[in-house]
Amino acid sequence: MSTEVKIPAVGESITSGVLSGWLKQNGDAVLDGESIFSLETDKISTEIPSPASGTLQIMVAAGEEVKIGQIVAMIDPAGAAGEPEAKETTAKATVTASAKADEPAKEEPALSPAVRRLAAEEKIPLGEVTGTGKHGQVTKPDLINYLERPAKKETEDLSSEASAKEEPKQKPAPAPVAERKEVVPSVPASTDGRSVRRKMSPLRKKIAAQLVMAQQNAAMLTTFNECDMSAVMHLRSSYQEAFQKRHGTKLGFMSFFIKAVVDALHLVPAMNARIDGDDLVENRYYDIGVAVGTERGLVVPVVRDADKKSFAELENSVGGFAAKAREGKLQLDELTGGVFTITNGGIYGSLLSTPILNPPQSGILGMHKIQDRPMAIGGKIEIRPMMYLALSYDHRVVDGKEAVTFLVRVKECIEDPTRLLLQG
């Protein structure tokens, strides 16, 4: 009896994804647990394993949008590893492949998922790319260099041609050379070089759809405040060396804000609630999402039970997520189930913004750039390191008074960090 290959559930707020590519061909033999296709959602790109061993029968083409639970292939057990002869043949093939591992000229090095995705999106012929990785493996920087090389060559050719034809009263070139550098080899540019058209990646399309859905389906409102970062900065500078020596990680700002958000969620339970149909679900746990920017888009890994973690544990969790995000190694279960999200646009220089909700959550806190500003302190003007805070919330769940109370509590915890230690 054939086994159905279905799109797995990837979170309570995700109903569809994009089948970005098949890792096996139609009719190939696959093993139970072997990755057979890549799935992309607005949160993550991951490889989905085969639920059984047998022959793959593909039913949905790569690049199509698929629903959670949709059948995309069948696994025919006929001839699968299970008969003694098949097992013996497979074992011999494995030994033979291992014996040939010393022949790099005949065996292509394995490609990472990130390299395969970029090559597929940009339609790069991998045979033309020179690998600089271990055993000649093609890396992501190799692909980027390959994409840039033709543009650079075209720029040099244009410059040489312009120099050769230069005349005293030569008319200016119709398009600046700097604009030509944006040309991607696989995408045709306009004739004058002023624009380039390329297809959106599956991940970017899902992010766009998710953001529009968030704005259309929630009564989103944003309230603002500012906090004095002097106390937290002084605390960090005083204990940074000892903290790093003891815990092996730096004491950053994010752990303070996670602690402050948890404290404020205890004070304002409405912010820790969500709408589910006609019901209002109030969460009694504190799994906090922390937005992390990557080359391919924004992902939001979740720090589980943030209320039970120490500052060191929070810093290790956030740092670990950031490293995984950059390497494309985040797992699906690390990106689902959050009750509240924190995003820090300040690391990119943002002074003020209005963050968009991460459905089905009812609140998101935006941190921003720390900037010295004159403040009235005790009747005197002092220069203080200030940060604007922005809280976007779903007005269907949270009233204005509750939202302001929540944000003021976060401000109080940051300006007086001892509250976080005394639970005051």
For the annotated catalytic residues, the residue numbers are 395, 399
- Phi then psi dihedrals of residue 284, to 5 deg: -115, 20
- Phi then psi dihedrals of residue 340, to 5 deg: -160, 150
Which contacts (CB < 8 Å, 24+ apart) does range 25-34 have? Answer: 25/56, 26/56, 26/57, 26/58, 27/55, 27/56, 27/57, 28/55, 28/56, 29/53, 29/54, 29/55, 29/56, 29/79, 29/80, 30/54, 30/55, 30/56, 30/75, 31/81
Dist CA 175 CA 165 (whole Å):
16
Closest CA to 271 of 416, 410, 420: 410
**Token pair for 367:** 């941190």
Is 141:114 a contact under the CB 8 Å cutoff?
Answer: no
Q: Distance of alpha carbon 24 from its chain centroid, rounded?
A: 25
- Dump strand ranges (E) for 155-310: 220-228, 273-276, 279-282, 288-290, 292-294, 297-299, 302-303
Is 40:53 a contact under the CB 8 Å cutoff?
Answer: no
Dist CA 49 CA 54 (whole Å):
13
If you ran DSSP here, which 8-state letter would residue 405 be given? H
Which amino acid is present at 368? H
Q: Residue 103 contacts by C-beta under 8 Å, 6 or more apart in sequence?
A: none
Dist CA 4 CA 72 (whole Å):
8
- Phi then psi dihedrals of residue 197, to 5 deg: -110, 130
Q: Residue 343 contacts by C-beta under 8 Å, 6 or more apart in sequence?
A: 290, 291, 355, 364, 365, 366, 367
